[in-house]
Amino acid sequence: MDESVRTAEAGRSAGVTAAVQHALGWLVFGNALGVMIAIPLLLPRLNPWLGEWTYGRWMMVHMNTALFGWCSLPMLALLFKAYGADRGSLAPWCRPVVWLWSAALVVGSYSWLQGHSSGKLFLDWSGYARFFFPLALLALWILLAIAFVRNRKRGAGERIKFLARLTGLLSLLPVPIAIFAASSPNSYPAIDPATGGPTGASQLESTLGVVLILLAVPFGVARPLKGVRRTASICCAVFFAECALTALLGSGDVSHRIPAQYLSLASVLVWVPLVRAYYARFEWTPATRRWRTAFLAWWAGLVITGWIMFLPGVLDRVKFTDALVGHSLLAVAGFLSAYVIFILVQVLGEEDAWILNRTWSFYAWNLGVLAYVVVIMVAGWVEGADPAFTIVPGTARNVLYVIRLLTGISMLAGSVEWLLASLALKTKRSVSRELELPGVKVA
Amino acid sequence: MRDRASASGWRGVALIAVVYVYFLIFAQFAFLTRLAELGVDGNALKMVMAAMAAGGILFSLLTPRLRVVPEPARRLRVGLAICAVAALLTLLPLGIAAGACVAFLIGAGLGITTVTLVTHLRQWTGDRRGIVYVGLGTGIAYLICNVPPVFTAAPEEQAILAATLCLIAMLLPLGSEPHAPEEYTAGTRMSFPIALVSFAALIWLDSAAFFIIQHTPALKSGTWLGSVHLWTNGALHFLAALASAALVQSGRARVALALAFAALGFACVLLQHPALILSASLFYPVGVSFYSVALVAYPSFLTRADSPEDRGRQAGWIYAIAGWMGSALGIGMGQNLGHVPLGFVVVAGCVVLAPVIVTIVRGSARETAVIAGAGAVAFVLYALMPQQASETLSPVERGRQIYISEGCISCHSQYVRPNSPDVAMWGPTESMEELHAQKPPLIGNRRQGPDLSQVGLRRSALWLKAHLMNPAEVSYGSPMPSYAFLFADGRGNDLVAYLSSLHGPGEQLQREREEAWSPTSAALASANADEGRRLYQRHCATCHDAQGATRLRWLGYWRIVPQTLPELRGYAAQQTLGRIAVISRFGVFGTDMPGHEYLNDQQIASVALFLKLAPMQDVSQTSTH
């Protein structure tokens, strides 16, 4: 085999493989932490075992590694593929970027455990870690930028793809600075004065951010099918209309009880059928079917329950309760996890999809998440009427928390299986490379 | 030809277990206790221990060179016999000189036994799964030593046990034919100098930590006292020994030593923080077992040796230098410093981890360079960023930073929703201006505990401190962890200052609201004195019972000492039910009496009814928590 082809394929494999393994490593780590810190809520006598690294400090590690580790690292694999960074002479630099990302999370985790935090949930980056993590983002951007320039010179992209990649690159450029700035204690988004939570306009804005990612990702990893232009046009029209609506709503501190807020937020419901239709206009490998169905189901559940829980009366009852914890889990463990696994399966291709496609772990994860959400929402609904339900734990609360713990163990078991399976990726790939013929690339 | 017993390896397992038990429960433990009983301490004790080390070093080095008893099984029996006799001699009333002689005998016996055992271990374990048997023998030994009746036995009983085990081991059919060594091929071999310094560093760490734990009552009670601790230690030792054997067997001896260092080093660092003793007690046994397996497996299976004599000489050097000298240096560190300095842990880490780090760096040069480069840039940027020194902050500002550091936001909100039941429970609402002036606002999104935005109105500084020190004692059923460690320095008081500062200008209005409040008529109608008594026991007795835990703990600090139940009843008899309910729910302003805002109207009414109407004989049924 031609040496350059061999090097290129080896580099691609190493970068994507590293992103998959690191992502799953952080998933297992985050899940294990979740299980660990759920136990003292049932058995407070075990709290001394944690020493000074108490529940509150571990919570920061748990939440941030879930978001910036598990949910973010698969996007690196996607970007490597989308920008062609995993091919050619750049390929060997993909793995160092993944390692740098994980190193930043290790530094962050240690810093949170040591009590360094900005005080902002999901943006706890503080002190040294607040500089380190944006540098990891910057390193990724530089790698993608070089890949973009290199592939442009080779004429590898068509015009639309070229513009899409350029737009993506320009959009990613401010992210490191944005993360740094957003972690500052001096900035804070608009507040709903009736609940202390985000306003309807903020919720609409963040949902549109997620929608934008959902619309952009397929172009990076899948082949468009006939009719995509029409569906994409409809999606773009709705997207820009909702952006205009967000602008009209403004960014002030506005109550969710104002009809303009909850009625405007209702506009996100249209994305339930639209996202489904949009994803049907791309060619996905058959192995993605199971996780595509799961992610669309979780997306529907997330959007619909998200809007219902924002309604006056409902939000007033569930705010600050376990019900919102359930909704957050639905977002991260349900929708986001199913989505990133779906993307990983697509990036890995048919040959390696098996690591994330085993039946028992699929159900262990998804049924675990579903049961968790149901149980914790029930607990939250009760708590909404009786705060003592949580503050002075009784039998009913403890039973619900035991079930929650079991669902967490179920999710952990599923994720451990994926991680262990992913460790075989390297071996499998090196074997398959040896079977390659000159000029024939491994998918 | 080897018999079936040799192939099964049980003799090897038994021999390793016996020698380790003898060393752990007798030489390292019972003998010291026995010397203390006999009044041998101070310099005399050092002399006795030096004699043991001298015997150990001398005979570790001499055993492979001596031709007196050339046959391995017979030499092992001689070593075991010396060990047994030495153990039994400690039952006599020894003086300093006699103690030193016995100590020398113990060292000599151990030197002969250990070097002979590892030199010819394959003869008793076979080659194929020899390292697994080493793990099993080591794990069993540690497990036996941590069985509570064994661990807590008198030193004389432990000496008899050790001697008995040695005598039983002597009776084992050890065979007499020399074993033809087979080449051990699994994994990468460690070079002898690297192995020697790695073992020396690990044993130094272990011995220092062991000495410090044994001679610090607080550490000892947090790690070795009680059946639960001992069984946990035993199980951890056993599992770690098996894990270590699996790693070494699969050619990852360096990884096993690296993990041993990680666990031991971490335990040594944790031992410096009283709040983390329990966590240290988890890591210490894991680290010890990880290296203990390698300490036997390395000279037995992993060294490059041309002959049994060569293997024996290498084993002798390892046990003499790493074992005896490393142990003596560790004990000296524990005696003189009372802790393991962080710098020493780092140096030990460099020694043990160097081979692993070099391998990783060689295989991942790009990754290492990128991480190091980014790390350096981040460091420069961080250094250039102006930082506010904590000394320039007020206690309230520092307390706010501690609130953030501890992640209190994960369980406590700081937002009272206007025109909602929140106001009655948690106090007046803050304005948006007040909220945005906070950098950042600490609204939170969850209430595992009460909202704290107005906690300064509802709780006294003393109550806050008592609660932070021991939440479950003050607040029934609280799952909140203790933050007593914050009071070891100034952080706890800063946090109390911050929490006390949390209140807005609406205090007067809030007091009026509280005075105007009364339980609903439905709640009053369904009030139940029996339930009231149960709630009183849970929420009130800790302060109001004459023997209440919180009452006694803070006896000299109360602004007004809480009334006892009979006094409360006397007071309640003169008040309306509504008034008692208001006090139960909102506390007494200007005292340390807290409210119980999260209890519902019916529960509050029940408590009030219990205080006002319940018969006096109920007093005897109350209890503290």
CATH code of residue B51:
1.20.1250.20
In-domain check, residue B372: no
Work out whether strand A282-283 and strand A223-224 pair parallel, antiparallel, or are unpaired. antiparallel
Chain B contact probe: residue of A141, A391, A400, A426 with most B CBs at under 10 A:
A391
Q: Are residues B58 and B115 in the same domain?
A: yes
> Domain check: are A173 and A44 in the same one?
yes
Mark whether A123 and A70 lie in a shared domain. Answer: yes
Is A59–B482 a contact, with Cβ atoms under 8 angstroms apart?
Answer: no
> Are A277 and A372 contained in the same domain?
no
| pLDDT tens readout for residues A374-391 | 999 999 999 998 888 888
Last-in-domain residue among B487, B508, B529 = B508
Are residues B293 and B338 located together in one domain of the fold?
yes
Judgement on whether residues A294 and A261 belong to the same structural domain of the protein: no
CA distance A203 to chain B (A): 15
Domain shared by A305 and A439, yes or no = yes
Statement to judge: residues B608 and B570 lie in one domain: yes
A204 and A174 within one domain: no
Same domain, A154 and A13: yes
Specify if B555 maps to a domain. Answer: yes
Structural domain count, chain A: 3
B244 within some domain: yes
C-alpha separations of B335 from B36, B215, B332, B342, B345 in Å: 16, 9, 5, 16, 17
Mutual angle of helices A395-422 and A359-385, in 10-degree steps: 150
* Whether residue B122 sits in one domain with residue B31: yes
Q: Retrieve residue A400's tokens.
A: 């619900």
Q: Do the chains contact at A56 and B446, CB–CB below 8 Å?
A: no
Q: How far is B415 from chain A (nearest CA, A)?
A: 6
Phi (first) and psi of residue B39, to 5 degrees: 80, 15
Number of domains observed in the structure of chain B:
3
Q: Is residue A232 a contact partner of residue A278, using CB atoms and an 8 Å limit?
A: yes
Do residue B558 and residue B502 come from a single domain?
Answer: no
B489 and B524 within one domain: no
Give B608 to chain A, closest Cα distance, Å: 18
Residues A7 and A150 in one domain: yes
- Residue B209 CA, chain-centre distance (Å), reads 12
Beta-bridge mates of residue B358:
none
Alpha-helix runs per DSSP H in B215-252: 217-223, 227-249
Could you say which of B279, B409, B450 has the minimum Cβ distance to residue A119? Answer: B409
* Mutation target vs B (from A7, A49, A54; most B CBs, 10 A cutoff): A54
Alpha-carbon span B471 to A44, nearest angstrom: 10
For the cut 80, the answer to whether the pLDDT of residue B174 exceeds it is: no
- Identify whether B381 is part of a domain: no
Q: What is the rounded CA–CA span in Å between residue A352 and residue A443?
A: 10
Question: Do B359 and B420 lie in a common domain?
Answer: no
Average pLDDT, chain B: 87
B539 and B565 housed in the same domain: yes
Helices in A84-184 by DSSP H: which ranges?
94-113, 128-153, 159-172, 175-182
Same domain membership, residue A182 and residue A68: yes
Specify if B20 maps to a domain: yes
Please tell me the distance in Å from B281's CA to the nearest CA on chain A.
Answer: 9
Element spanning A385, H or E: helix A359-385
Where chain A has pLDDT below 50, the residues are 1-12, 427-443
Contact between chains at B411 and A56 (C-beta distance less than 8 A): yes
Instruction: Please say whether the dihedral angle defined by the alpha carbons of residues A154, A158, A160 and A164, taken in this order, is positive or negative.
Output: negative
Residues of A in contact with B367 (CB under 8 A): 95-96, 99-100
Closest in A116, A132, A196 to B375, CB measured: A132
Inter-chain CB proximity B600 and A132 less than 8 Å: no
Q: What is the pLDDT of residue A344?
A: 93
Query: Is B614 a residue whose pLDDT tops 80?
Result: no
Q: Which is higher by pLDDT, B218 or B79? A: B79
Residue A90: partners with Cβ closer than 8 Å, 6 or more residues away = A11, A143, A146, A147, A150
Listing DSSP states for B369-415 in one string gives HHHHHHHHHHHHHHHHS----GGGS-HHHHHHHHHHHTTGGGT----
pLDDT in tens, B328-342: 888 888 878 888 888
Report CB contact under 8 Å: A96, B413: no
Position B162 scores a pLDDT of: 94
Which CATH number covers residue B481? 1.10.760.10
CB contact under 8 A, A127 and B478: no
Same domain, A291 and A217: no
Query: Within this chain, do residues B146 and B221 fall inside the same structural domain, yes or no?
Result: yes
Tokens found for residue B229: 């601790």
Least confident span in B7-11, B292-296, B307-311, B504-508: B7-11
Report the Cα–Cα distance between both ends of chain B, in Å, rounded.
69
Task: Kindly state the helix (H) or strand (E) to which residue A282 belongs, with its residue range.
Answer: strand A282-283
Chain A residues near residue B393 by CB distance under 8 angstroms: none
Q: Which domain holds residue A68?
A: 1-188
Q: Is residue B112 part of a domain?
A: yes
User: What is the C-alpha separation between B536 and B549, in angstroms, rounded?
Assistant: 14
The one-letter amino acid code at A83 reads Y
Contact A344, A359 (CB under 8 A): no
Give the pLDDT confidence score for residue B214 in this predicted structure.
80
Provide the 8-state DSSP code for A198. Answer: -
Q: What is the CATH number of the domain that holds A56?
A: 1.20.210.10
Q: Same domain for B532 and B501?
A: no
* Confidence at residue B427, expressed as pLDDT on a 0 to 100 scale: 86
Q: Which one of B508, B526, B557 terminates a domain?
A: B508
Sign of CA dihedral B51, B52, B53, B54: positive
Same domain, A364 and A221: no
Q: Is position B504 within any domain?
A: yes
Q: Which tokens sit at B564?
A: 């006892």
Give the pLDDT of residue B129: 82
Give the model's pLDDT for residue B359.
78
Q: Which domain holds residue B425?
A: 395-508
pLDDT for A154 equals 55
Show residues of chain A in contact with B379, CB under 8 Å: 128, 131
Q: Of A188, A222, A256, which marks where a domain is finished?
A: A188
CB neighbours of A287 closer than 8 A, spacing ≥ 6?
Answer: A345, A349, A350, A353, A354, A357
Backbone angles phi, psi at A195, to 5 degrees: -130, -20
User: How big is the CA angle at A132 (ends A130 and A134), to the nearest 5 degrees?
Assistant: 75
Q: Which residue has the tokens 């272990």?
A: B206
> B191-197: long-range contacts at Cβ-Cβ below 8 A with a sequence spacing of 24 or more?
B192/B303, B192/B304, B192/B314, B194/B354, B194/B355, B195/B298, B195/B302, B195/B303, B195/B318, B196/B317, B196/B318, B196/B321, B196/B322, B197/B322, B197/B351
Cross-chain residue pair A51–B415, CB shorter than 8 Å: no
Count A/B contacts: CB-CB distance under 8 Å: 188
Mind telling me how many Å the CA of A28 is from chain B's nearest CA? 20
Q: Quick one: closest CA in B to A134, which residue?
A: B378
CB neighbourhood size of A28 (10 A): 18
**Taking CB atoms and an 8 Å limit, are B418 and A194 in contact across chains?**
yes
pLDDT tens, residue by residue, B9-46: 888 999 999 999 999 999 988 998 899 888 888 888 88
Asked if A97's CB is within 8 angstroms of B407's CB, the reply is no
Other CB atoms within 10 Å distance of the CB of residue B320: 21
Q: Which residues of B touch A50 (CB under 8 A)?
A: 279, 481
- Residues in chain B closer than 8 A to A51 (CB atoms): 270, 273, 275-279, 485
Q: Of the candidates A41, A196, A391, which has its C-beta nearest B443's C-beta?
A: A196
**Does one domain contain both A41 and A172?**
yes
In degrees rounded to 5, what are phi and psi of residue B475? -115, 110
Quick one: closest CA in A to B487, which residue? A52
Shortest CA distance from A40: residue in chain B: B479
Ranges A17-21, B287-291, B352-356: which has the least confidence: B352-356
Pick from B371, B378, B410: CB nearest A55: B410
A48 to B275: CB separation less than 8 angstroms, yes or no: yes
| Helix or strand (DSSP H, E) at A425 | helix A425-434
B485 and A52 in contact by Cβ < 8 A? Answer: yes
B63 has a pLDDT exceeding 70: yes
Cα B587 to Cα B597: distance, rounded to the nearest angstrom: 9
Q: Do A41 and B439 touch (CB under 8 A)?
A: no
Residue-level pLDDT at B109? 95
CB contact under 8 A, B481 and A120: no
What pLDDT was estimated at residue B428?
87
* B-chain residues near A185 (CB < 8 A): 439-440
Q: Distance between CA B164 and CA B84 in Å, rounded?
A: 7
pLDDT at residue B123, rounded to an integer: 85
- Considering the domain architecture, whether residues B498 and B522 belong to the same structural domain is answered as no
Tell me if B377 is assigned to some domain. no
Whether residue B356 is found in the same domain as residue B474: no
Tell me how close the Cα of B399 comes to any Cα of chain A, in angstroms.
13
Within 10 Å of residue B36's Cβ, how many Cβ atoms?
A: 12
